[in-house]
Amino acid sequence: MVSSETDQLILVDDRDREIGHDSKAACHDGHGILHRAFSLFVFNGRGELLLQKRSASKRLWPGFWANSCCSHPRRGEDMHDATRRRLREELGLECGLKFLYKFQYQADYDRLGAEHELCWVYVGATDAPVRANATEVADWRFIAPDALDREIAGKPQHFTPWLRLEWQRLRGEFRSELPGARIKEDRG
């Protein structure tokens, strides 16, 4: 197991100022406590995005398709170290990451808890082989951006709420920043 419900996460205010710490479990109870998080979007050389299906053992959104990697910096850990640590732990990957933006969102998952995060969004690219950690990742695949657009439009309930929010913004405002942006997209 690479993460624990007892991990101490960083609580933040609306301006992303650190205001304290609490356990991962407490941060996700009820409607959630605002805490710092990150989402990574990793592309291959063909401009395809690496998606992961969340493990069935995840408390929130188990079995849903999500972006390449998402998690939280722990107490005393900066974002650079946290993003690289988690990319290695979940997918066995290392790659350069470019920060694009941060945003706040809240999403409830049934009565099991919620995400309430101030999330930093990054993109990166690598053709290194994926070595997914089976305790964290049930499945993974690469997908062309246009194909992902169609899947989300046709079956949004198969995808995590943060992926849908972030992907919409990446495909709009940050489209030119995506690795492989100049690669001809699938027009299927």
Return the higher-pLDDT residue of 39 and 183: 39
Q: Per-domain residue ranges for the chain?
A: 8-177
Residue 160 has pLDDT above 90, yes or no: yes
Q: Is the pLDDT of residue 183 over 80?
A: no
Is the separation of the CB atoms in 54 and 149 below 8 Å? no
Which residues are the active-site residues?
70, 117
- Report d(CA 87, CA 74) in Å as an integer: 14
User: Does 185 have pLDDT greater than 50?
Assistant: no
Distance CA 91, CA 69 (A): 8
**pTM for this predicted structure:** 0.93
Class for the domain spanning 8-177: alpha beta
Structural tokens at position 81: 């170290």
Calpha distance 168→185 (Å, rounded)? 16
Q: What per-residue confidence (pLDDT) applies to 137?
A: 96
Residue 81: strand, helix, or coil? helix
Q: Helix H segments across 29-184? A: 79-91, 145-154, 161-171
Q: Do 37 and 77 meet the contact criterion of CB atoms below 8 Å apart?
A: no
Average pLDDT of every residue of the chain: 93
